[in-house]
Each structure stands twice: as structure tokens, then as C-alpha cells.
Chains A and B, each alone.
Chain A
Amino acid sequence: DAGVIQSPRHEVTEMGQEVTLRCKPISGHDYLFWYRQTMMRGLELLIYFNNNVPIDDSGMPEDRFSAKMPNASFSTLKIQPSEPRDSAVYFCASSLGLAGGLYNEQFFGPGTRLTVL
């Protein structure tokens, strides 16, 4: 399996622009998670989906952030408009459900490094 795939790997944009991050989870995984990692705040959960349905978006910082999962193999995280404080590494992760593997651990994608100027 190719693992969790994220694109782009790096994104540099200017304040006010729209940013869309993409994720393809591991085939067969029914949980998908979006995280943000910064030096100041560490790794924070933004939102997670189960079977394409958003379960908990309490970590989404504000209305400028939105996430969708139109099907089992694709999810997007959108920031509109972007601000310099959104600069971070954004990780997507996926896992099996409770009926899955022994640990149900989350597998992380390589991340998208976002810089907002």
C-alpha cells in the first residue's frame, strides 16, 4: 500500500489567498484525521471523519477553516482567507475502525508545509 498521500508537500501563499490541502487515506481505513503541528502548540487535532461523515470539528480554529470528505478515498482541508498565523505543517492520518487491527493506530501522511506570507 502507498500509505496516506497528501498534496501539495509544500505551499507558499500570500495572506488572503485560499489554500486547499488534499489527502488520500489508506484504502479500507474508515477514519480520517486532520492535524496541525507548530512549534508553539505541538500536534493538534482539527477534525476527524468516520465513513466520510465529520464526527468532531471542535479543533477547527475558526470559520476560515473547512474540511470535506466527498468519498472514502479523498478529503480536503480548505483555508479561506489564509493568514500568516496559519503557517504550520498539516498532517492527514487514517486508521481502521474498532473492528479493524489490533491497535487501530493512526497512519500519518508526509504532511503539507504551509507558509502564509
Chain B
Amino acid sequence: GQNIDQPTEMTATEGAIVQINCTYQTSGFNGLFWYQQHAGEAPTFLSYNVLDGLEEKGRFSSFLSRSKGYSYLLLKELQMKDSASYLCAVREYDYKLSFGAGTTVTVRA
């Protein structure tokens, strides 16, 4: 089973940086995903980590520490369009994804 924790809400100013933390407990780790979900829309893939370290994709970066059961998503140079829910999801060896409750990020002008 899974226990995935992430903050419920975060607010930041346009142009700033926000870090969304995710902690998890799992019996069989096979990768961690971050998805973005705008209100009323489907989740879309942002990033993937399976080894420890930092993965960078443009303004978004994701970090993983498997020994600590910890990941974060870093959003840089925030834009208004980044206002959305960000979902942390852990994949186990049976290929299932378990999602956290999501962090709603509000970007203010």
C-alpha cells in the first residue's frame, strides 16, 4: 500500500520560486511522477524520477531521495498559468500508480 503526503495549498507571487514537497511510504518503489492538473482538466505528465537526484526540465525540476522517501517539485519563474494542482504519484512494481491528494498552487500577480 501507499501513504503519500503533500501540502494542501501553496501561494506564491508571479516570478517567484515554489517548492512542493512529497513524502511517501511504499513496499516496492518503481518511480515517482509529478503531474499537473488545471481545474476541470485531466492530469498531464510533468516529470519522472527513479534514481536519486535532480531532474531538470525547463522551469520545472524534480528531486528524489529514495532512502528518505522524499521528493520535491520546484517551479521557477512562476507564471499565472502555473496556477494548478500538482499531484505526486508513486509507481510500484505491479505498475500501479498511487496519487497524493494534490497541492493547489495559486500564483498571484
Contact = CB atoms under 8 A, between A and B. Distances in A.
Given A42-B100, A45-B97, A103 B43 contact: no
Interface residues of A, number: 20
Contact of B98 (A45, A48, A50, A110): A45
B42 A108 contact: yes
A55 B98 CA distance: 16
A77 to B, nearest CB: 16
A110 B42 contact: yes
B95 to A, nearest CB: 7
Interface residues of B, number: 18
Chain A binding surface, main DSSP class = strand
Given A43-B87, A43-B99, A110 B41 contact: yes
A42 B101 contact: yes
Given A33-B97, A42-B100, A91 B45 contact: no
Contact of B42 (A50, A103, A109): A109
Interface string B72-109: 00000000000000010000001111111110000000
A56 B48 contact: no
Interface in A7-45: 31, 33, 42-45
Q: Which 7 A-B pairs have the closest CB atoms?
A: A108-B42, A105-B45, A103-B48, A43-B99, A42-B101, A108-B43, A110-B42
Interface of A: 31, 33, 42-45, 48, 50, 55-56, 91, 102-103, 105-111
13 contacts: A42-B99, A42-B102, A43-B87, A43-B99, A44-B99, A45-B97, A48-B96, A55-B94, A105-B33, A105-B45, A107-B45, A109-B42, A110-B42
